[in-house]
Amino acid sequence: MPSSATRAAKTALITGITGQDGSYLAELLLEKGYLVHGIKRRASSFNTTRIDHLYQDPHESDPRLVLHYGDLTDSTNLIRIIQQEQPDEIYNLGAQSHVAVSFEAPEYTANSDALGTLRILEAVRMLGLIGKTRIYQASTSELYGLVQEVPQKESTPFYPRSPYGVAKLYAYWITVNYREAYGMYACNGILFNHESPRRGETFVTRKITRGLARIDAGLEQCLFMGNLDSLRDWGHARDYVEMQWRMLQQEGPPEDFVIATGRQESVRRFIELAASELGWGSIQWQGRGLQETGSRADTGDVVVRIDPRYFRPAEVETLLGDPTRAKEKLGWIPTTTLEELVAEMVATDREDAKKDAHLKRKGFAVVGSMENPPTNPEA
Ligand code: NDP
Ligand code: GDR
């Protein structure tokens, strides 16, 4: 029997609940009256910052958010949790999700991102839950890699360019295979990049908004970047998790969907937008290649430099999604423009930077220390 005495309308299980998308999805499902179970990894320090505001003390009430220790590399815990909670919906968001890191840890990435998906599907099949449990698989525009068609839609051929992309390719196809072989209700959401103030600090958008905000607050002097010409289709994570939910509410047979905005910009342009948002005017670029620098338009200070350590062994140069199917069948309309996304991220990072600067002035924090990591973490 499910562990919670109070049954909500539906029960969902989220892997990766402590991540960016997991936190927004948990909020959405709780709002909709779901009983939400989440799998979190054991860590040596707290790793639930993004969902702490959703925490419900089990001593005071019957909680609608329940966390379980587990890991996608361990089928024993997945089988136990799925058997115990019998979820109506599983959102498999857990993954080693950093493309650059996947070149450093390819085997682990394959284990968690590729085999982890198989473990979820197989647990549902073995436990006889095919008729009950619907599964969302977090697929990605990284499947397109070396793009074969512009813009990319559901029928565009895949050509992944990283161990992450290749692992997610396996996850995509094993999801399709279990759907076709066993009649499972399983969908791939092929989501293009989506960001928010909760984005991990080493992804490019957050690295930029956090880094420039800290420069603005006088905490740091320069942001070191990789490929500024990379082109991405960026949306807001809050909008994208709503589509994850809608994919599992379809009346008809399960389908795969591209979720994207249909607008493409460069990393360079994202930096300019963040600089404008900070009131710097924009960024003036000088030099080429590794010697290129970006200066604040208002003061002339160099605030962006290139560091080759952030180049990838194989790059995905350009991504642009065509979300027509999602528009027609899921009613997909992105609610946040890129400018609004940048403004929200800059505002949050600016507040944090101001607090850090205040603490520093009072002698409480040492910028660049372990407690207060520097702008340029290792990715
Ligand atoms: P995050 O990196 O923010 O979150 C990943 C989550 O997975 C975290 O909760 C993390 O736990 C957890 N996790 C990592 N490894 C394991 C493991 N071995 N077992 C269990 N859990 C694990 O990613 P996002 O929220 O941005 O993305 C969610 C999913 O969507 C991922 O699968 C990602 O690959 C995919 N995706 C993301 C896109 C994006 O632009 N954001 C676009 C397309 C797909 P912990 O907090 O402990 O690290
Ligand atoms: P991506 O996101 O690889 O698209 O994967 P990321 O933000 O890491 O990189 C986007 C582009 O920016 C370039 N870049 C840099 N990237 C990082 N991280 N740091 C830098 O300093 C830097 N300089 C330039 C990158 O080379 C790249 O071209 C994200 C993840 O969320 C995946 O899990 C998800 O599947 C895809 O988006 C869709």
Lowest-confidence pick of 25-34, 48-57, 142-151 = 48-57
- Find residue 231's DSSP bridge partners: 266, 318
3-state secondary structure of 31: helix
Q: How confident is the model at residue 365 (pLDDT cuts 50, 70, 90)?
A: low
Res. 1: pLDDT tops 50: no
Res. 23: pLDDT tops 80: yes
Distance CA 151, CA 164 (A): 22
Q: How confident is the model at residue 376 (pLDDT cuts 50, 70, 90)?
A: low
Q: What percent of the chain has pLDDT over 90?
A: 91
Residue of 24, 99, 172, 305 with the most ligand 2 atoms within 8 Å of its CB, for mutation = 99
Catalytic annotation present for 293: no
pLDDT for position 240: 98
List pLDDT tens digits, range 287-306: 999 999 999 999 999 999 99
List Cα–Cα distances, 86 to 3, 31, 112, 190, in angstroms.
Answer: 10, 20, 22, 26
List Cα–Cα distances, 257 to 24, 149, 164, 246, 326, in angstroms.
Answer: 19, 16, 20, 11, 6
Residue of 97, 120, 172, 239 with the most ligand 1 atoms within 8 Å of its CB, for mutation = 97
pLDDT for position 366: 54
List pLDDT tens digits, range 196-236: 999 999 999 999 999 999 999 999 999 999 999 999 999 99
The mean pLDDT of 354-360, rounded to a whole number, is 94
ipTM above 0.85, yes or no: yes
pLDDT for position 368: 54
List pLDDT tens digits, range 43-76: 999 999 999 999 888 787 788 999 999 999 999 9
Q: How confident is the model at residue 377 (pLDDT cuts 50, 70, 90)?
A: low
Q: Which atom of ligand 1 is nearest to the CA of 237?
A: 41
Determine if ligand 2 sits within 6 Å of the CB of residue 376. Answer: no
List pLDDT tens digits, range 236-248: 999 999 999 999 9
pLDDT for position 4: 47
C-beta separation of 195 from 206 below 8 A: yes
Res. 5: pLDDT tops 90: no
The mean pLDDT of 178-191, rounded to a whole number, is 98
Domains of the chain by start residue, with CATH = 11-195+233-259 (3.40.50.720), 204-232+265-316+338-361 (3.90.25.10)
Q: What is the mean pLDDT of the chain?
A: 94
The mean pLDDT of 351-371, rounded to a whole number, is 80
pLDDT for position 9: 86
CA of 286 to the centre of ligand 1 (A): 36
Res. 268: pLDDT tops 80: yes
pLDDT for position 113: 99
3-state helix, strand, coil in the chain (%, to 5): 40, 15, 45
Catalytic annotation present for 140: yes
List pLDDT tens digits, range 302-342: 999 999 999 999 999 999 999 999 999 999 999 999 999 99
Distance CA 94, CA 39 (A): 9
C-beta separation of 360 from 367 below 8 A: yes
Catalytic annotation present for 336: no
Query: What sign does the dihedral 266-313-256-75 (CA atoms) show?
Result: negative
Determine if ligand 2 sits within 6 Å of the CB of residue 204. Answer: yes
